[in-house]
Structure 1
Amino acid sequence: MSTRSYAILGTGAIGGFYGAKLQQLGLDVHFLLNSDYEQVCRQGLLIESPTGSFTLFPVQAYHDPQKMPACDVVIIALKTTQNHLLPQLLPPVLKEDGVVIVLQNGLGIEPQVAEIVNSKRIIGGMCFICSNKVGKGHIRHLDYGMITIGEYQENYQPIKITPRIQKIAEDFNHAGIPTELSENLLLARWKKLVWNIPYNGLSVVLNAKTDELMNSPDSRILVEEIMREVVNAAKGCDCIIPEQFIQKMLNHTEKMTPYLTSMKLDYDRKRPLEIEAIIGNPLRMATEKGVDLPHIAMLYRQLKFLDFKNRSPDS
């Protein structure tokens, strides 16, 4: 049994699910919570899942990072719109020789974390999962669940698989979380964006779930056109994504349980949208390389307008 301790920053649909799976395995897991703190202390975390529902209790729950023990592995599962809180949240919970897994959507996130901790202690992570928080301490996992992790180096230079990342992957796999290791974190992030940019963006702009986007011929064409722009953007950044990967993502989404994306849920709840991490940063990175992305540029401006209007006082 692994003796690594884990801290979860952001006990929501992602952090709550994966952290609960790790603790269910018997690992030492500590959860930072906000509005759910009292509920989880009293009744634990309820995980609904087609792979097996369970209630995690007791939960090592905290409302203050200063009261958490320093851990070997810290998983950042906050929305990127909350990353301005990391300078206060991260240092108290990370051991001197600990590592950070940035399990967030988008691109250009690891350099922000590297301003807080040494870049050599950072691992990037992407999850392909349909999971929502449906109530306080209540997480509903609908489909999938695999994660990809890779070591971060400055400027996203590729790096060989290290023993430490292999050991962390063993913990995840033993907990029933299928885990892939990547030697090229930048490529892995671009591949995730092939799905994230069209479905997150269009779900808000077109007010649609994933199945609705797939079932309409016009929106499906738009999804594919945006996917091809993402592939071209990645190529401009020296990350080659095979053409067949687009069809793979389309096939996965067709089989997926109908799903409201995280960006659409945030929009419906009038929360800030992860526009910059998921769309703005990739758009800027590709544009600097001379790649023209007309569909993505329009999607970015539409989302900025809708987000501003949605959260204005008179909305």
Structure 2
Amino acid sequence: MQNGIGIEQYFEEKFPENPIIPATVFLDAHQTEHGSITHGIRTKIDYGMYKPEQLGTEQNKNILERLDHDLIAGDVESVILDNVQRSRWSKVIWNASFGPISVISGGYSASELLRDPIANQLVRTTMKELIAIGDAATGEKVSPISADDFIDKSFSITLNRPNEVFPSMLVDFENKRPMEHQVIVKNPIDVANKLGVKVPVLETLYSLLVLLEKKKFGIWQ
């Protein structure tokens, strides 16, 4: 359930005989005070086998069905996917765009970024680069709709959330915690370089992000 791309390989090496079930979590929640979490209007988990061919075994099908049953019993929207990597790329498109830009801009919320014309265009351009990586990495379209329609829909959902959305990367930065920029930003860049996808904006955002982190906290990747 960890955010980002390319997190499964470590577990595959450590537990080669175990099925790995990556998940994408859509959770409307925020911490109101230490030890207190307020849940919002939505909890949804998309998941499936790390390797699609693992879906063919009866044992793995039973594992997914049991997990589905337990999640539904806990009032969670549960979705089993044949290709879970599409869902993971779909989510990282938002995280790897809004997260770095919110930090570098000095703490803008997601909706504040979208209401600013310059920031809005920067987010859109970054998302298009990430969509291109996801399409190349998964071998199919990350979204069944066009890139522009996908981005417009994402913007609309973000702007219509009942509460301001502050990307987790910004929350970590403001609380002096390590940001997940390796798995959210750097890993997609590495995939892009491997596949020959040009991502100059994403590379620039990553460089600025780690420089800012080094300047403020003395951390260097």
TM bracket (short chain): 0.7 to 0.9
Q: Which amino acid aligns with 2:140?
A: C
Instruction: Give me the CA root mean square deviation.
Output: 1.9
Contact 1:159–1:183 (8 Å) recurs in 2 = no
Residue in 2 that maps onto 1:86: none
Paired residue for 2:157, among 228, 249, 252?
252
Which entry has the higher C-alpha Rg, 1 or 2? 1
SS in 2 for 1:114: helix
Deviates more, 1:161-170 or 1:206-215: 161-170
Q: Which amino acid aligns with 2:135?
A: K
How far apart are residue 302 of structure 1 and its match? 1.0
Alpha-carbon distance in 2 for matches of 1:148, 1:119: 23
- Which string of whole-angstrom CA distances, capped at 9 and with x for unpartnered residues, describes residues 24-49 of structure 1? xxxxxxxxxxxxxxxxxxxxxxxxxx
Residue in 2 that maps onto 1:170: 69
1:294 paired with 2:189, answer no
Residue in 2 that maps onto 1:108: 6
Same amino acid, percent of matched pairs: 26
Map 1:264-303; keep pairs closer than 5 Å: 264-303=170-209
Paired residue for 2:117, among 204, 212, 217?
217
Q: Which amino acid aligns with 1:270?
A: K
Q: Which has a greater percent of strand?
A: 1
Q: Note closer, same or farther for the CA distance 1:292–1:166 as it changes in structure 2 (3 Å cut).
A: same
- Which string of whole-angstrom CA distances, capped at 9 and with x for unpartnered residues, describes residues 38-84 of structure 1? xxxxxxxxxxxxxxxxxxxxxxxxxxxxxxxxxxxxxxxxxxxxxxx
Contact 1:186–1:239 (8 Å) recurs in 2 = no
Residue in 1 that maps onto 2:103: 204
SS in 1 for 2:176: coil
Alpha-carbon distance in 1 for matches of 2:187, 2:158: 24
Structure 1 alignment gaps of length 5 or more: 1-102
Residue in 1 that maps onto 2:84: 185
Q: Which amino acid aligns with 1:281?
A: N
Q: Note closer, same or farther for the CA distance 1:167–1:224 as it changes in structure 2 (3 Å cut).
A: same
Instruction: Give the number of aligned pairs.
Output: 208
Paired residue for 2:24, among 126, 133, 140?
126
Q: TM-score, normalised by structure 1?
A: 0.62
Alpha-carbon distance in 1 for matches of 2:74, 2:4: 25
Q: Which has a greater percent of helix?
A: 2
- Which string of whole-angstrom CA distances, capped at 9 and with x for unpartnered residues, describes residues 143-171 of structure 1? 43211111112xxx565482321221221
Q: TM-score, normalised by structure 2?
A: 0.86
Deviates more, 1:139-148 or 1:270-279: 139-148
Map 1:48-127; keep pairs closer than 5 Å: 103-118=1-16, 120-127=18-25
Alpha-carbon distance in 2 for matches of 1:119, 1:263: 33
Alpha-carbon distance in 2 for matches of 1:120, 1:266: 32
Residue in 2 that maps onto 1:93: none
Contact 1:198–1:223 (8 Å) recurs in 2 = yes
Alpha-carbon distance in 2 for matches of 1:233, 1:295: 13
How far apart are residue 119 of structure 1 and its match? 5.7
